[in-house]
């Protein structure tokens, strides 16, 4: 749950709260439910840009994903990302969900100006655990959390930064969840070069943590990681 900020104008915490209040009953809620993440909407602070904050006009109608700092307070939200959930991009003309989303003429994600690569779901780093998950993207990190695997989302190979390394060195095992594609392979190879405790957990082509958990259930992911 997002914490209230000190009384300052248009802080990221206040903006994230505003978007979170617009989430119930919105297209964003429908989309998150479709992705199997409805139970995490509140703790992860998902929102809907119904009334854009100043400077956020281009994000109108998008899902808002806050990067929440576990310490809370007036700096509880490190940044916001915005995901396209336009119906034509997600569904066929008959209203059924597309297996592969179709985003033409625009990016699937938008970030705030000047944003730098950050880790998503950093609260996972303060949970007492001998293992941790690393995934490409926010939804895969959230899906692994459904299996009680503390998981951090990373911005991919190009977004990794040297100062990320120390946060992962104290774990017995770091599960590197990877898609079955070339970028996924590069992601795992990059992590293995930097972290001696990495164990690759690969999924088939056109699959990922989110799809796997939705199809097979959270326990199946734990079994795949050797935790059951």
| Burial of 93 from C-beta contacts in 10 A (0-12 / 13-18 / 19+) | exposed
Predicted local confidence at residue 208, as pLDDT: 93
Predicted local confidence at residue 2, as pLDDT: 47
Q: What is the pLDDT of residues 22-81, one digit of tens each?
A: 999 999 999 999 999 999 999 999 999 999 999 999 999 999 999 999 999 999 999 999
Q: What is the pLDDT of residues 129-158, one digit of tens each?
A: 999 999 999 999 999 999 999 999 997 778
Predicted local confidence at residue 204, as pLDDT: 82
Predicted local confidence at residue 46, as pLDDT: 99
Which domains are assigned to the chain? 12-111 (3.90.980.10), 122-224 (3.40.1360.10)
In this structure, the number of other CB atoms found within 10 A of the CB of residue 126 comes to 10
Predicted local confidence at residue 170, as pLDDT: 92
Model-level pTM?
0.92
Predicted local confidence at residue 7, as pLDDT: 42
| Mean per-residue pLDDT over the chain, rounded | 93
Predicted local confidence at residue 157, as pLDDT: 76
Which DSSP string corresponds to the chain?
Answer: -PPPPPS-TT-HHHHHHHHHHT-TTSHHHHHHHHTT-GGGTTTTT-EE-SSPPTT-GGGTTPEEEEEE-TT-GGG-EEEEEEE---HHHHB-TTSPBPSS----SS-SEEE-TT-----B-GGGGGS--SEEEEEESHHHHHHHHTTT--EEEE--GGG--GGGGGGGTT-SEEEEEE-SSHHHHHHHHHHHHH-TTEEEEE--TT--HHHHHHHH-HHHHHHHTT--
Query: Above 70 in pLDDT, residue 1?
Result: no
Distance, CA of 31 to CA of 206 (rounded, Å): 19
**Mean pLDDT score, 91-120:** 95
The fraction of the chain above a pLDDT of 70, given in percent, is: 96
**Mean pLDDT score, 8-29:** 91
């Amino acid at each position: 749950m997002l914490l209230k900020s000190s009384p300052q104008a248009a802080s990221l915490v206040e903006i994230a709260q505003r978007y979170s209040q617009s989430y119930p009953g919105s297209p964003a809620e429908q989309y998150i439910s479709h992705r199997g993440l409805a139970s995490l909407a509140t703790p992860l602070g998902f929102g809907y840009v119904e009334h854009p904050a100043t400077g956020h006009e281009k994000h109108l109608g998008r899902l808002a994903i806050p990067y929440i700092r576990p310490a809370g307070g007036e700096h509880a939200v490190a940044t916001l990302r915005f995901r396209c959930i336009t119906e034509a991009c997600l569904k066929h003309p008959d209203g059924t969900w597309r297996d592969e989303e179709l985003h033409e003429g625009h990016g699937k994600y938008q970030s705030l100006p000047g944003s730098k690569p950050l880790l998503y779901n950093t609260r996972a780093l303060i949970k007492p655990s001998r293992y941790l998950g690393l995934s490409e993207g926010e939804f895969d990190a959230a899906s692994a959390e459904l299996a009680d695997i503390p998981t951090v989302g990373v911005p991919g190979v190009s977004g990794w930064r040297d100062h990320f390394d120390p946060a992962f060195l104290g774990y017995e095992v770091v599960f590197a969840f990877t898609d079955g594609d070339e970028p996924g392979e590069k992601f795992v190879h990059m992590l293995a070069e930097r972290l001696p405790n990495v164990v690759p957990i690969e999924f088939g082509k056109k699959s990922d943590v989110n799809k796997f958990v939705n199809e097979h259930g959270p326990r199946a992911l734990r079994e795949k990681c050797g935790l059951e």
